[in-house]
Amino acid sequence: MYYEVSGSRLRILGTNHVVPEGMPLPSFVLDAVQWAEAGCTEHDPSEFAPRVLLREGERLQDLLPPDVWHALHHAWHLELRNPADLQRQRPWAAAMNVGISRLRMSPGAEHHFGLHLQKNGRAWGCLERADEVADLLDAVPIMDVAEMLRAALPKIDEAQAHFEATYTEWVARDSDGLFEGLKQSPMYSLPSFREAYFLTRNRTWADRLMNFEAPPVNTVLAVGCFHLLGPDNLLDLLRKRGITIREL
């Protein structure tokens, strides 16, 4: 999942933010890292830390339906995580984070890409601020968050197998297989989450890329591979704006 913007020094790389523990990055990621003289990713993950927490005095338990809260609390307990930490999570953050500690994983493409660029004194920028993403997710109706949790929690024991299957499809550049898996995810199948996390961001990125000056050096834009799949994916939005994109 590696593409060239024709007539420019910009390439687009579809990434996995994390990979199964001990598994290598695919050759197309290594090629992108070696080619790049500068890089750009979605946002700085470290900026998310303060935005995943509720305001002082608020409790997640008071925001979710009782059945969802009890199921979520039970799953959190099984992961041996501090219950007080769960109470402070924003609803969307809890929905996105539950089960993640069960995954056996290693840092993905962006981590290695960033280290390589920094080691060589090269620029590493972002398309958006973490605050922008958090604002979009804050606007998702609480009942949709509850619906996402109702769909996801019963399948939490399948998370590792799904994670490994996604990695295999990504390495094989199997866009169809990746999209079939994505469509089964509550985060994509629920319209409000899909709009907030994928479609709105894709449109914003496309507009910003159109307004950027052409990069003077070899530059790789590294975004999650799911943003390159399905209707209104980033590649198609750029093509609709007259940009020619070729897969490498």
Indicate the pLDDT class of residue 48, thresholds 50, 70 and 90.
confident
Question: What is the Cβ-side half-sphere exposure of residue 83, based on CA atoms within 13 angstroms?
Answer: 9
Residue 102 near residue 156 (C-beta atoms within 8 A): yes
Alpha-carbon Rg of the chain, whole angstroms?
Answer: 19
Residue 219 near residue 38 (C-beta atoms within 8 A): yes
Count of structural domains, the chain? 1
pLDDT of residue 211: 86
Q: What is the mean pLDDT of residues 150-157?
A: 90
- Whole-number Cα distances in Å, 96 to 7, 48, 119: 38, 13, 31
What's the pLDDT tens digit per position in 216-237?
A: 899 999 999 999 999 999 999 9
Give the H/E segment covering residue 125. Answer: strand 123-126
Tell me the residue range of the domain where 136 lies: 2-247
Tell me the pTM.
0.93
Helix axes 109-119, 27-35, angle to 10 degrees: 30
Distance CA(38)–CA(123), nearest Å, equals 5
Question: What is the Cβ-side half-sphere exposure of residue 99, based on CA atoms within 13 angstroms?
Answer: 17
pLDDT at 32 over 90: yes
pLDDT of residue 80: 58
